Amino acid sequence: MRRKSVAILIGVLVVVAFTASACEVSVSTANISEAWTSADEAGDERTTVFAQDQDFYVQVQLKNAPDDTTLKATWTAVDVEDADPNLLIDEVELTAGDGQHQFSLTNDSLWPLGSYKVDLYLNAELAQTVEFEVQ
């Protein structure tokens, strides 16, 4: 009886060992420590209100991010004049590590008045949303 219990225990341990070795576990501590919109490329002129003729900039500060971290910005016109609600404007993705990174959005015409947002994805997961408006 004792031999049978030992054999079963060994069998279970072997199955667990094979299962654990077949699964690849990836844990990242990468995070967005801060994100903000600005009126300038460097991020010094922080604002959440833009004029119709301005370019939009969003600054993203990554912490604990390996160099192969994927960062994506999805720009949306939430509620603007003469457009459907939640209209996707653009998506941009980059691979980066620690530090400050910037996304920008330009328009040859005037931006419609209203509210906008940029969703920031870290390794394909929504990490933060930054809202702003055009007045």
Q: Does the residue 97 lie in any domain?
A: yes
Q: Residue 95's closest CA among 130, 61, 66, 60?
A: 66
Check which CATH number belongs to the domain holding 108 and give it.
2.60.40.10
| pTM (two decimals) | 0.78
Residue 15: predicted pLDDT = 47
Q: Does the residue 18 lie in any domain?
A: no
Residue 29: predicted pLDDT = 87
Which tokens in the block code for residue 116?
């906008």
pLDDT digits (tens, 9 = 90+) for 58-110: 999 999 999 999 999 999 999 999 999 999 999 999 999 999 999 999 999 99
pLDDT digits (tens, 9 = 90+) for 4-34: 655 554 554 444 444 444 444 445 689 999 9
Cα distance between the two ends of the chain = 81
Facing residues of 80 across strands? 114
Q: Does the residue 19 lie in any domain?
A: no
Q: Does the residue 122 lie in any domain?
A: yes
Q: Does the residue 20 lie in any domain?
A: no
Total structural domains in the chain? 1
Q: Please give the residue range of the domain that contains residue 44.
A: 29-134
Q: Does the residue 129 lie in any domain?
A: yes
Specify the DSSP class assigned to residue 123: T
Q: Does the residue 69 lie in any domain?
A: yes
